[in-house]
Amino acid sequence: TAARMARGGRLVYAGAGTAGRLGVLDASECPPTFNTDPSQVVGLIAGGPSALVSAVEGAEDSREFAAEDLSAIGLTALDTVVGISASGRTPYAVGAVEHARARGALTIGLSCNAGSALAAAAEHGIEVVVGPELLTGSTRLKAGTAQKLVLNMLSTITMIRLGKTYGNLMVDVRASNDKLRARSRRIVALATGAGEPEIEAALSRTDGEVKNAILTLLGDVDGPTAARLLDASGGHLRAALAAARNL
């Protein structure tokens, strides 16, 4: 997935009901956490956006709806499509994977049953068998929790491989509010050990970009040079730092 995204591909989640909502949730959290464009990680839910807050009966039963939704976003062979279904047999999720695989996209089937139709349809099946729910058939419980953990892993490890982190720090965080601006300052402090005046000056020189600010401090370069080095390294801070030390 990371290799495809580095070449311009997207990570696309497709599911119905709780599974679909979890995919949309994970996708929506990537821009503020990793400063991704909203089009890079996409969540599709059977029945469309209104299904996020109210059930759209029958939407999950259609393979065709999944194909239409993927076609609407211009699916390409560089994309990765993750079908999500607790049972592993939801037609919308299976149809999404089948449509995507036929068009050369990388496909993953995430379910909570062994030997599922979804895993069979995908190139890579992830089956997290959680056993019967406390409330029979209520897959928002154990299955939903397990699926959220796996989606967190998929997106987070992908972003790590794309250079969106430095150690355990979210150096691509988008400082869109006071809380995140404070977090940005803490991240720069943890990465560099610099004092508050230096951190404020570095963030000011780099328009608040955390990764760039860290590079100016650790690499002893100015803002434009930091931006150029990060661009040349594909956004990987460690590689940019190595290049800065060789200037």
Supply the residues annotated as catalytic: 29, 60
Report DSSP state, residue 49. G
**Helix, coil or strand: residue 107:** strand
Contacts of residue 29, Cβ cutoff 8 Å, sequence gap at least 6: 155
In degrees, rounded to 5, the angle at the alpha carbon of residue 121 between the alpha carbons of residues 83 and 21 is: 10
> Given the DSSP bridges, would you call strands 106-111 and 80-84 parallel, antiparallel or unpaired?
parallel
CB 124 within 8 A of CB 132: no
User: Which residue's entry shows tokens 């279904």?
Assistant: 85
Angstrom distance (rounded) from CA 218 to CA 239: 12
CB 88 within 8 A of CB 111: yes
Contacts of residue 241, Cβ cutoff 8 Å, sequence gap at least 6: 215, 218, 219
Q: In what order do the strands lie in the sheet with 106-111?
A: 41-45, 11-15, 80-84, 106-111, 124-127
Angstrom distance (rounded) from CA 75 to CA 55: 26
